[in-house]
């Protein structure tokens, strides 16, 4: 879901809640601020930052690949084996 679609649903929910007199209009700026702060802290805590130097370094791979093919009249198979 993109941002504009999410904003539409948030506005529509806000409008419906105010029309049914469940919430006041002043409730929503506080709710948006609390949600933004909590969501931002969760994302910052759980996403690991990767340095560009480490991301594009020329590391030697620590694994070997082995492809196998089998052609028989009753079946055909392709296999891949990774050895770490």
Number of domains in the chain: 1
| Domain, as residue range, for 46 | 1-84
Query: What is residue 38's predicted lDDT score, i.e. its pLDDT?
Result: 92
Is the confidence at residue 15, as pLDDT, over 80? yes
Per-residue model confidence as pLDDT tens digits over 25-76: 788 888 888 988 998 888 888 777 666 555 555 666 677 888 888 887 887 8
Cβ atoms of 69 and 78 within 8 Å: the answer is yes
Tell me the CA distances in angstroms from 29 to 15, 35, 50, one per residue in order.
13, 10, 34
Query: What is residue 13's predicted lDDT score, i.e. its pLDDT?
Result: 83
Letter string b/e over residues 14-47, b meaning 16 or more CB atoms within 10 A of that residue's CB:
beeeeeeeeeeeeebeeeeeeeeeeeeeeeeeee
């Amino acid at each position: 879901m993109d941002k504009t679609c999410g904003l539409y649903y948030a506005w529509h929910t806000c409008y419906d809640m105010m029309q049914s007199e469940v919430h006041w209009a002043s409730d929503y700026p506080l709710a948006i601020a609390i949600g933004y702060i909590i969501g931002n802290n969760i994302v910052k805590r759980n996403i690991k930052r990767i340095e560009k130097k480490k991301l594009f370094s020329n590391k030697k791979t620590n694994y070997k690949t082995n492809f196998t093919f089998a052609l028989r009249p009753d079946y055909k198979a392709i296999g891949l084996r990774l050895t770490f």
